[in-house]
Amino acid sequence: MRTMSDNDILEMDSLSGSEDLEGDVDIDMINEDVVYPEEFLPTYHSIKEGSTVAKAHLAEFNDKPDSLFFNDGVRRIDCILVYEDEDKQNFEKRHTFQRRKRRREYFEASLMKMGMELEATRSVIDGKLTFVKVHMPWNVLCTYAEVLHIKLPIQPNDLASRPSPWHFLSCITKHFYPNEELISKETEFFTAPFEKDRLEYFYVKDKDIFFTPSMRSRMAYYILSRAPYEIRGNIKKFGITKLLDGGVYKAAYPLHDCRFNVMSKEEGCPNERYLLYQEWAHPKSFYKMQPLDLIRKYYGEKIGIYFAWLGFYTVMLALAAVVGLGCFIYGYKTQETSTWSKEVCDPEIGGRIVMCPQCDKECKYWRLNSTCEASKKLCIFDNFGTLVFAVFMAIWVTLFLEFWKRYQAELEYEWDTVEFLEQEQPPRPEYEAKCIYERKNPVTGVKEKVPFTACGRCVRVSIGIGTVLFWILLILASIVAIIVYRLAAFFAFSAKLRAQDLKELEPLKEYVTPQMATAVTASLISFVVIMILNMLYERVAIWITNFELPRTKTDYENSLTLKMFLFQFVNYYSSCFYIAFAKGKFVGYPGDPVYLLGKYRNEECDPGGCLIELTTQLSIIMGGKAIWNNIQEVLLPWVKNLFFRHCTRVASQKVIPRWEQDYQLQAISKLGLFYEYLEMVIQFGFVTLFVASFPLAPVLALVNNLFEIRVDAWKITTQFRRIVPEKAQDIGAWQPILQGIAILAVATNAMIIAFTSDMIPRLVYYWSFSVPPYGDHTTHTMEGYINSSLSTFNTNDFSNHSRPLSTPGNITTCRYRDFRYPPGHRKEYEFNMYYWHVIAAKMAFIIVVEHIVYLTKFILSYVIPDVPYAVKEQIKREKYLTQVILHETNLKLVSRRLKPTQDDTMNLSEEKLAKEEIELDF
């Protein structure tokens, strides 16, 4: 095998159709080698000039519908390739189909040249389809297990596991775990990265099951992603991904081991898919804990770690949901006893307070008690229980993240991903295809090929950042448009809903205020805009990430994750931030209102504040998002599969093989779990960032997640083809994103309580302004709060632009929400002493609460270790055993070296042995 030359170009992107048609070349006559670094593809051998291209053996289906083997019943199927027979296609497009045929035949010949074995079988449903079964022999498995650093057992784990502190409740808790008779606990092993030269030290009881089906499929797909399918000059094209995109193959997937609802009749079949359905994905098992070890064994670590995180998050949400529900019940029970709410509803107080119009000219004067019902609903969420709950959630999110780190460390050890390093991950085929520049690896010091120079990388990253910023600005523009709608809609609703002769809304009149009508309609429009922008930006983010060309799949996913989350963060949360921190804060006063764009008068909050509007916004977006996602995740795959089965239905007497049954299922998205994580992290943001305004958010999230776990399980078990297993150590870039949200949540909740709710002004009134020298009451009380929180305005001071068209003759003054001096005062309409007391109290509250909560979070993070002590012991024990085995191997070779020989002259074989000993890597 020769090294990479400067002129060799590995390419995955096919040329245009016209170029391919003009330059069709006989594959057999090409004499250039495709070049690969030996560490990535050690079994590769180029097909020499003039050699016959081997073809897959064509075999008839043996009428065994559950078989997972070739027709000989010995060689296990590790992957399936599906293609349409090019000879049976449209005659007019014969050139295209012949080119596809040549590429496919060369690709399959390359696979066989690399040691893989193929067997083709015609479809029993569609005569045009052919299924190619791929098998990896033992020696190929051993080679690529070493390339991919797959950890395999060396001896059973001799460290006794510590009993659970709740073992005395096992008679009760066992009903909440999967049936141990069906899913038994597997033996634990100490493991080490596989090496062919030390095979005798690994725990090999049976070669057929030493490598699990998920390991075999992972290795098979690794080779498929790098096998060449065409050579043209010094351009080498390779990879199953491009063949799938170009239509050469219809699908490539590993096999499910059986049907999800019927056990296989094949001898020795583990029926793991059936067990997963019965004990995990079936609705009747909704109350059971997840069989994570079996999920990981069947689908790989990446799927396993997602469901482990989702399950852990849901369990932790249960505690937050209980406290949040208690806070909601407390607010509901105390809404009728709230003094300030009673004053709003009292005909002698709220009924006599005339409020100033909230828009120019068209709006009318209105009575404060018209917001009676809204003020009662506000009491449910704006109370002291909310303050306690906000602090609790700041502590909860810290505990959640710290305990997740511990749980994740346990899974890393149990699933052999403790030392899963960046260097162990092979480059993406798309990255390898563009490697034309040479550089020195800063870690290994070895020269390697890269796809761009430092300057080229900088340009690519800059273009990506610029595109993301442009789309974020586009979102902000849409938010401004929605704000303009809110202002215009409020103007219209105020003119209509304040009218006394609106008979058709009489039953709902006390509930439908201009603020509420505007908030609901704007929230619905905002939700629609969010979903549309999401669909558009998704394609842009994928294009940008592809353009940046990350090296490994982890790098690719982390880069895409950051782009998508930044966009989604602005898209989903910007409207909530507007209501919480901007609306009603810059409105001026009736005589000098503030205008947006010089035309639209800024909208005001209800007399009780904007908190109820924020609650409405959150409930609509959270609820709408959950419903929409469930429709996408459940209904669409089910309808697609139903339609496909209807279109390809055959006579009932026909026996359909396992690979054809799987072909009828849906293919998994290229981004895999990305959208599942994104959905949950956005939800996590709603639960933590704005929980002070909506204590029921954890309850809604808990209910949604209980469905989400089972829906996702049902979906991947019954509706999708088996996912190609992938290695993963943790949840990737989502971990720092969650930590960032947790830090931001403390600030947002403190600011919501300080600036959005009326809690601080009420406390200031209760402790300072209800008693002398500012108040007239002898004891601290909330009586008179409403009157003190509303300023007075002289109707004669309206400007001509904002003066109402009609003013009743008996109204000389009106009230508005602010803390300003009354007309006639020497500082009329300037902020009064109450305002500055409130501002000082708000700032003090934010500083004190943030420091206390951040200090508590820091202490908890420091006290709770990321890795449990028992896991550290097991990791040390495993490393020790690995070192012992390596030492024993080296000792044997050294002892052979020191053994005296009778002949002074060493023969050729002994010289070779001596060289091997000298080059030993201790």
pLDDT over 70, % of the chain: 84
Nearest CA-CA partner of 529 in 579, 568, 478: 478
**Whether the Cβ atoms of residue 804 and residue 364 lie closer than 8 Å to each other:** yes
Place of tokens 């791929």: 134
* Other Cβ atoms closer than 10 A to 350: 24
**What's the token pair of residue 451?**
């796809």
Amino acid, res. 284: K
**Whether the Cβ atoms of residue 291 and residue 272 lie closer than 8 Å to each other:** no
3-state secondary structure of 115: coil
Amino acid, res. 729: Q
Whether residue 193 has a cis bond before it, omega within 30° of 0: no
HEC per residue, 498-556: CCCCCHHHHHHCCCCCHHHHHHHHHHHHHHHHHHHHHHHHHHHHHHHHHHHCCCCHHHH
**What's the token pair of residue 513?**
């205020």
Q: 219-233, 301-315, 789-803: which has the minimum mean pLDDT? A: 219-233
Note the pTM of the prediction, 2 decimals: 0.83
3-state secondary structure of 620: helix
Q: Tell me: the pLDDT tens digits for 125-156?
A: 888 899 999 999 999 999 999 888 888 888 88
Alpha-carbon distance 720 to 370, whole Å?
Answer: 55
Q: How much is the pLDDT for 135?
A: 94
pLDDT at 19 over 60: no
pLDDT at 411 over 80: yes
**What's the token pair of residue 366?**
């209105």
Q: Name the strand (E) or helix (H) holding 302.
A: helix 301-334
Nearest CA-CA partner of 131 in 258, 251, 259, 264: 251
Alpha-carbon distance 417 to 554, whole Å?
Answer: 14
3-state secondary structure of 909: helix
Q: Tell me: the pLDDT tens digits for 288-301?
A: 889 999 999 999 99
Q: According to the per-residue pLDDT averaged within each range, which of 4-13, 50-59, 628-637, 667-676 is highest?
A: 667-676
Strands (E), 707-798: 790-794
Q: How much is the pLDDT for 460?
A: 82
Q: Tell me: the pLDDT tens digits for 805-842?
A: 877 778 889 999 889 999 989 999 999 999 999 999 99
Q: How much is the pLDDT for 436?
A: 75
Q: How much is the pLDDT for 280?
A: 92
Place of tokens 């601290």: 780
Q: How confident is the model at residue 423 (pLDDT cuts 50, 70, 90)?
A: very low
Mean pLDDT of the chain: 81
Q: How confident is the model at residue 405 (pLDDT cuts 50, 70, 90)?
A: very high
pLDDT at 668 over 50: yes
Q: How confident is the model at residue 862 (pLDDT cuts 50, 70, 90)?
A: confident
Q: How much is the pLDDT for 742?
A: 92
HEC per residue, 32-99: CCCCCCCCCCCCCCCCCCCCCCCCCEECCCCCCCCCCECCCCCCECCEEEEEECHHHCCHHHHHHHHH
HEC per residue, 697-708: HHHHHHHHHHHH
